[in-house]
Each structure stands twice: as C-alpha cells, then as structure tokens.
Chains A and B, each alone.
Chain A
Amino acid sequence: MAIQDMAPESGVRGPVRNSLLYDPKVRGVVVQVLLAVGLVVFFWWVIDNARENLERANIASGFDFLWSRAGFAISQSLISYTSDDSYARAFVVGLLNTLLVGLLGVVLATILGVLAGVARLSRNWLIAGIAAVYVETFRNVPVLLQLLFWYKAVLAVLPGPRQAIALPVGSNLSNRGLLLPWPIAEPGFSDTLMALLVAIVLAVGVGIWARRRQLATGRPFPAFWTGLGLIILLPIVVFLVTGAPLTLSYPELKGFNFVGGLHIQPEFVALLLGLSIYTATFIAEIVRAGILAVARGQSEAAHALGLRSGPTLRLVIIPQAMRVIIPPLTNQYLNLIKNSSLAVAVGYPDLVSVFAGTVLNQTGQAVEAILLTMLVYLTISIATSLFMNWFNNRVALVER
C-alpha cells in the first residue's frame, strides 16, 4: 500500500528532482571517479614515500640484483642450478619447487579427499568411522604443526644412510630420503615418446567416433578400454622394437651420501604429506556434501529406467554432485598452494624460502623480493581460479 501511495507523489515532485545532483547516474559516475582518483593518489603516495624512505636510508632499490651471482646452494632443483647462477635462476628454481609441491599436493589431496568423503558415506560402520576420525582429527590441527609433526615423524623413524632400509628393485629408504632407480634415456627413446603421442591422438579419435556412432545408432562402443589399450600397448611395442633404449641409474652409497638414481628428500615428503592430508579432510567434507545434495529420487529414477549402479553413479549422481563440489573445491586448491609457503619450516626450498628468505636477506631488497613473491602467488592463484571456473561452467547444470 505504502509504495502505491508514494508513486503519484514522487511523480508530482519529478521536475524538482530532475537536477544533476539527484540524477543517480551522474551521482554514480562522480562517486566512482572520486574513488578512482583517491586510490591513484593513495598508491602514488605510498610508492613515492617508499622510494624516498629507501633512498634516505641508503638502501639499494630496483630489480638489477636479479642478474647478479646468487652464491648460495639449493638442495632440490628441477633445473640445473649452481651457486654461480643468478638470483633470477634461483627465483625460477624456487618457483618450480613451489609448483611441484602445489601440483602434486592438489592431485594427492583430491584422491585422498574423494576416497575419505565417499568412505564417510559408506554403510560399513568401520569404514565410515575411520573416515570420520581421520577428517575430524586432521582438519582441527593447525597445518604448520602437522608439517613439523610429519617432518619429525619421518626423520625419527628412519635410519641413517649407512643403515638404509633396502627396498625392492634397488630402492632404499633412509633419513636422507627415498632413493629410487631412475631411467636415463638413450638415443632412440624419442620414438617411444612419439608413439605415446600418436596413441593419445588415436584414443581421442576413437572416443569421438564412438560418441558419434552412439548418438546416431544407439550402439555403445567400449571407447575407454580401447583408448587405454592403445596408450599402453603402442609405446611398449615401439619401445621393444627400437631395442629398449633406456638404462636405469641405481642409487649407490658413496662417501656420505647416495649418488645416482632419483632422490626424493624427506623435506619434500613431509611437506607434501602434511599439505595433502590436511587439505584432503576439507575436500572429503565437500565431496560428502556434494553427494548428499543429490536427491535420493535421482538414483531411484535411474534404477527405474534400468541403469545399473555403476552408470547411475557415473551418469546421474556425479554430474549433479560436481555442481556443488567444484566451487568450494577451488578454495581448497588455493589454500593448499598458499599453505605450501610454510615450506621453510621443514627446510624445503620453495619460492618463499629461496626468494623471500635467502635472496631477500642476501640482497636486503625486501620490498622488491616480497613484491615479486606476492605477484607469483597472485598469478598462480588466479590461474587456478580461472581454470576451476572454466571447469565449473562445463559441469554446471544446463538450464533451458
């Protein structure tokens, strides 16, 4: 009633309010411009002040230091690096170490989280109970403590390199880490890689053809198994035909440490375990919520249509659960990547440890080092968000 009463009144006042001052559009623009100008002035003031303060304190500034010799060693590096390389290369080494632990952490946390989430819904009391205890324990302890726990636990249990525990195929385990035999490619190995590429293309082709045929004729074709067979068998055949051009390098104890093979350091394992196990508890709850969000009627209807439980889960439940799962899952991925910056606590050389730690301290250029580090995390996080948003759009409910 009140609104209806006011309508004619405001109509009468119309001409009075017609000045620019009361025009919502003009007001909006003015406020936005003022805010923008204010922000620009603020940031200009901050930057100018910082420059002036740094200059007065005789602190070197600028990014030229990136090209000078780093002079410190890094324990784990995916690219070749020595202390003679530049700070810029040390930056890349740290960045790659961060990406490695972030990527593997996301994969591991997802697998573990989905398993725990599904297990908690199990009708088996024991399985559901174990999953519940796991989730409630690990998500309620701060992640830094968990990292320290895993690091100390890993180190406390394992023997020194001379008493290393021998594992099958020449691997061994000690407090220096896990050492595995590592294949070294010889000439001719590229053919096998080419075969793998060809097999993947073929498998995708078969998938598309099978889908088209099913849409046209209704006859299903086991495209998944055919594709998997192609991807596994074709490279193996080529590998054997070209004379198995691969040798294994085995870890050997020489002097203090192992030489050769693949060296997985305890710091990396502790960080990866800690981050994955912590984040997986949140993912488990997200998965559980996602599955519970699909109404029971959906699976009953699928069964009524004659679908068995496998296809019901794959075609009916999961696609609908995904809509609920993906958005909060993105948050967890971002959390994991950002938490990886706790690496220095367990001695893993990630970006924060190498660049915002050692490099910052050796050069004294705190503003530059922290800015670059923050930019990297921002970029990684935004890239992850964009990918997950794209994925979310793909699985979103198509409304007609």
Chain B
Amino acid sequence: MKSLLIPTVAGVAFSLLAGSAGATSLEDVKAKGFIQCGVNTGLLGFSAPDDAGNWKGFDVDFCRAVAAAIFNDADAVKFTPLSAKDRFTALQSGEIDLLSRNTTWTMSRDTALGLAFGVVTYYDGQGFLIRSEDGITSALELSGAAVCVQQGTTTELNLADYFSRNNMELNPVVFEKLDEAIAAYDSGRCDAYTSDASQLYSVRLTLKNPDDSIILPEIISKEPLGPVVRQGDEEWFNIMKWVGFALLDAEELGINQANVEEMKSSDNPEIRRILGVDGTFGEDIGLSNDWVVNIISKVGNYGEIFERNVGSGSPLQIARGLNALWTKGGIQYAPPIR
C-alpha cells in the first residue's frame, strides 16, 4: 500500500495543507531557475532517459522548448517521471509546473479536474497490438481476448466502450505501470495490448520478438495529446499554448535550427514578427522578444522535434500523417503570431 500510495497521498496532503499561493507560476519558475516538468516514466521516442541518463523524446522536448523560451536554456528543466495514474494529482498539487506526458485532451480533464489544455502536439488514436500467430486482421475479431492495459488512461475507458458497442466480451488485465502491462503481454498473459497508436510503435520495439507482433489497422478513438497546466493562471497557460503554436508556425514559415539566425534579417513581416524583430509579442506574454529564436535555436521547430524523436530520424519511423502541417495534408494548424 505504502509504496504505491505515497505519490497520491502526498498530493492529497499537499492540497490539504498548502496555503494560498501568492506568486504566479512564471514568477515561481523564474525564481527557482528551472521548470519542473512531469513526463512519462519511460516511453521510447516520447520520454525516456538515454544511456547517459539524459531525458530524451517528443514530450521531453516540449518541456525543453518552454525552458528555452523562458531561460534561453533548454536544460533548465527537471523531470518528474509519472505513471498515468499519478500524473494529474502531481499537477493539481503543484508538485510539477507543467505536464507533458502523452496526455489526451478530454472535456472532464479540461473542466472538472481543474486542468487546462490548450494545444495539441500530437493527434493520436487508440489501436491494438496483437501477435500475428493469432491470425486475426481486425479488432472486431478480438471478442473474448484478454487485453493488457495501463490504469488511469482514456484507453481503459475507450476499450470498455468499444467492446460493449460491438457486443464483444472483454477480459481486461489492468496494470499501474506501462512496463508491467507490456511484460504481461510479452509473457503471453494477454492476447492484445492496447494504447495510443504512437505508443504501440514504441512498445513493439521493446518486445522480445518485435516481428511476431503486429498493429491492427483499426483506430478506435480520437486521442489529441498535449501539454497540461493548472487552471487559473492565464499567464502560464498562455506561455504553454504559444510555445506550442510557435513551434508549428516556425515550421510553417520554414524557420529551423540551422537558419534561425539568418532568418532574423528576413523581409517577410510574418518571420520578423515571430522572431521578435518587429513587435513585442514575447514581452506581452512575460518573456523576452527573442523567445522564438531561443526555442528554435535550442530545440528546433515542430517538424524537427517530430522527425528527431519519433519520425524518420528515430527507430520508431512514425509517418507524419495527421500531424503534418495543414499545408501538407495534415491537420496541424496554429493561430498566427500577430
């Protein structure tokens, strides 16, 4: 009981005892000199420590982008690895400043849980990983299957919905930790492992025999993933949102890590605005005017982050798909900076 409950109880105790916080999140973060960012405990490509113990991944890079925007230092981040179950309590209680942990934007989370979503960094959907020897080709043939799933996720709910909607019998085996769920699938306890499709690509690579498992074509849900902050701090919320938009706008305008410095002398008014040559957009959200220059030079634009961590530059080889820019057939579309 103790070991599993400590994070939750600590969170509850904190929300019970914490006095009224005076400073805003941005002031807090500036005062301590780093961002406390909640990430996944280990999901290859999205958030996982490398050989040297440095956190790497798509979600991790979002934290780094926010740090670069504030401190002009992508390493001014401390990471708190969180299980799906503990993540919201950690954010609600103030243990972390920002949650960037492949978290689905849903109405109840955005309202009743006291959280605030603002930008979708990854359009995802739930899929199934199965062993090819079972010889099925559709998720509709999964009736009666034992399905391993991680606790405290939208996945757990979608799974029950999908099976009852299609009159199929479900035998879920629910684990608190991702690696326990995967281990159970790998040992044959479950016929299928279900999760967001992006995760399935990552999980498949960590199996004993990746080639024995396939991902079914069905996507059974909408999973818009994005970073989260607490409700009630508009300044901090705006920073999270606009760092996300700036990454997309930069890619759209062709600004990348290599050319960001020379782009500053561009004649294009849109580029001049986003890079802070014209206007005071950075100062208006409590940052410096060259905030986007800092983000792009330290972390790169959205496309670079994607390809480096989960796309063609990574073992996952996930295609951009829905996550391509709207100008290139995807649905990633950010409001303009003006």
Q: Chain A: residues with CB nearer than 8 A to chain B?
A: 46, 49-50, 52-54, 56-60, 71-75, 82-84, 144, 152, 155-156, 160, 175-176, 254-257, 259, 266-267, 338-339, 341-342, 344-345, 347, 349, 352-353, 356-358, 360-364, 366-367, 370, 377
- Find A344's partner among B92, B112, B172, B175 (CB 8 Å cutoff): B175
Q: Please state if A358 and B174 are interface contacts (CB–CB under 8 Å).
A: yes
Q: Give how many B residues have a beta carbon under 8 Å from the other chain's beta carbons.
A: 61
Q: How far is the CB of B171 from chain A (nearest CB, A)?
A: 6
Contacts of A71 in B (CB 8 A): 157, 160-161
18 extra A-B contacts, CB within 8 A, seeds A57-B114, A75-B174: A46-B17, A58-B111, A71-B161, A72-B157, A255-B143, A267-B173, A341-B1, A341-B4, A342-B1, A342-B4, A345-B176, A356-B8, A358-B156, A360-B85, A361-B153, A364-B88, A364-B109, A364-B112
- Find B12's partner among A72, A366, A377 (CB 8 Å cutoff): A366
Specify which of A74, A339, A345 lies most central, judged by the most chain B CB atoms within 10 Å of its CB: A345
Bound-complex Cα distance A56 to B19 (A): 12
Bound-complex Cα distance A341 to B6 (A): 13
Contacts of B111 in A (CB 8 A): 58
Bound-complex Cα distance A361 to B15 (A): 16
Q: Please state if A366 and B173 are interface contacts (CB–CB under 8 Å).
A: no
Chain B residues 130-172 with CB under 8 Å of chain A are: 134, 142-146, 148, 151-153, 156-157, 159-161, 163-164, 169-172
Residue B230 CB within 8 A of the other chain: yes
Bound-complex Cα distance A179 to B171 (A): 15
Contacts of B188 in A (CB 8 A): 155, 160, 175
Q: Please state if A367 and B85 are interface contacts (CB–CB under 8 Å).
A: no
Given contacts A83-B161, A256-B145, A256-B146, contact A58 B232 (CB under 8 A): yes
Q: Please state if B4 and A345 are interface contacts (CB–CB under 8 Å).
A: yes
Q: How far is the CB of A265 from chain B (nearest CB, A)?
A: 8
Residue B299 CB within 8 A of the other chain: no
Q: Please state if B17 and A49 are interface contacts (CB–CB under 8 Å).
A: yes
| A-B contact list, 11 entries, CB within 8 Å | A53-B18, A54-B15, A83-B161, A152-B187, A155-B189, A160-B188, A256-B142, A256-B144, A257-B146, A360-B8, A364-B114
Q: How far is the CB of A288 from chain B (nearest CB, A)?
A: 28
Contacts of A361 in B (CB 8 A): 84-85, 88, 151-153
- Find A353's partner among B3, B157, B174, B181 (CB 8 Å cutoff): B174
Q: Please state if A358 and B152 are interface contacts (CB–CB under 8 Å).
A: yes
Specify which of A60, A82, A364 lies most central, judged by the most chain B CB atoms within 10 Å of its CB: A364
- Residue of A at shortest CB range from B113? A364
Q: Please state if B85 and A357 are interface contacts (CB–CB under 8 Å).
A: yes
Residue B124 CB within 8 A of the other chain: no
Bound-complex Cα distance A367 to B144 (A): 36
Q: Please state if A256 and B143 are interface contacts (CB–CB under 8 Å).
A: yes
Residue B9 CB within 8 A of the other chain: yes
Q: Please state if A73 and B112 are interface contacts (CB–CB under 8 Å).
A: no
Residue B234 CB within 8 A of the other chain: no
- Find A83's partner among B11, B143, B164 (CB 8 Å cutoff): B164
Q: Chain B: residues with CB nearer than 8 A to chain A?
A: 1, 3-5, 8-9, 11-12, 15-20, 84-85, 88-89, 92, 108-109, 111-114, 134, 142-146, 148, 151-153, 156-157, 159-161, 163-164, 169-176, 180-181, 183-184, 187-189, 191, 230-232
Q: How far is the CB of A377 from chain B (nearest CB, A)?
A: 8
Q: Specify the main secondary structure of chain B where it touches its partner.
A: mixed
Bound-complex Cα distance A351 to B288 (A): 50
Q: Please state if B174 and A347 are interface contacts (CB–CB under 8 Å).
A: yes
Bound-complex Cα distance A52 to B108 (A): 20
Q: Please state if B15 and A257 are interface contacts (CB–CB under 8 Å).
A: no
Contacts of A54 in B (CB 8 A): 15, 114
Contacts of B108 in A (CB 8 A): 362-364
Contacts of A75 in B (CB 8 A): 171-174
Contacts of B157 in A (CB 8 A): 71-72, 362
Given contacts A56-B232, A73-B159, contact A259 B144 (CB under 8 A): yes
Contacts of A59 in B (CB 8 A): 92, 112-114
Q: How far is the CB of A62 from chain B (nearest CB, A)?
A: 11
Bound-complex Cα distance A384 to B322 (A): 57
Q: Please state if B151 and A46 are interface contacts (CB–CB under 8 Å).
A: no
Given contacts A49-B19, A75-B172, A156-B187, contact A353 B164 (CB under 8 A): no
- Residue of B at shortest CB range from A142? B3
Contacts of B144 in A (CB 8 A): 254-257, 259
Bound-complex Cα distance A256 to B172 (A): 13
Contacts of B15 in A (CB 8 A): 50, 53-54, 57, 366-367
The 8 closest A-B pairs by CB, nearest first: A361-B152, A364-B113, A341-B1, A59-B114, A83-B160, A60-B112, A256-B145, A57-B114
Given contacts A256-B142, A256-B191, A347-B174, contact A366 B92 (CB under 8 A): yes
Contacts of A364 in B (CB 8 A): 88, 92, 108-109, 112-114
Q: Please state if A366 and B11 are interface contacts (CB–CB under 8 Å).
A: yes
Contacts of B173 in A (CB 8 A): 75, 267, 347
Given contacts A60-B112, A73-B170, A84-B164, contact A358 B8 (CB under 8 A): no
Contacts of A345 in B (CB 8 A): 4, 176, 180
Q: How far is the CB of B223 from chain A (nearest CB, A)?
A: 15
Contacts of B180 in A (CB 8 A): 345, 347
Bound-complex Cα distance A324 to B172 (A): 45
Bound-complex Cα distance A353 to B180 (A): 14
- Residue of B at shortest CB range from A377? B1
Bound-complex Cα distance A73 to B159 (A): 8
Given contacts A59-B113, A152-B187, A361-B85, contact A339 B176 (CB under 8 A): no
Specify which of B15, B174, B175 lies most central, judged by the most chain A CB atoms within 10 Å of its CB: B174
Bound-complex Cα distance A71 to B189 (A): 24
Q: How far is the CB of B88 from chain A (nearest CB, A)?
A: 6
Q: Please state if A72 and B114 are interface contacts (CB–CB under 8 Å).
A: no
Contacts of A144 in B (CB 8 A): 3
Bound-complex Cα distance A71 to B157 (A): 6
Bound-complex Cα distance A255 to B232 (A): 51
Given contacts A160-B188, A175-B188, A345-B180, contact A82 B9 (CB under 8 A): no
Q: Please state if A176 and B146 are interface contacts (CB–CB under 8 Å).
A: yes
Q: Please state if A257 and B176 are interface contacts (CB–CB under 8 Å).
A: no
Bound-complex Cα distance A268 to B268 (A): 65
Bound-complex Cα distance A366 to B92 (A): 10
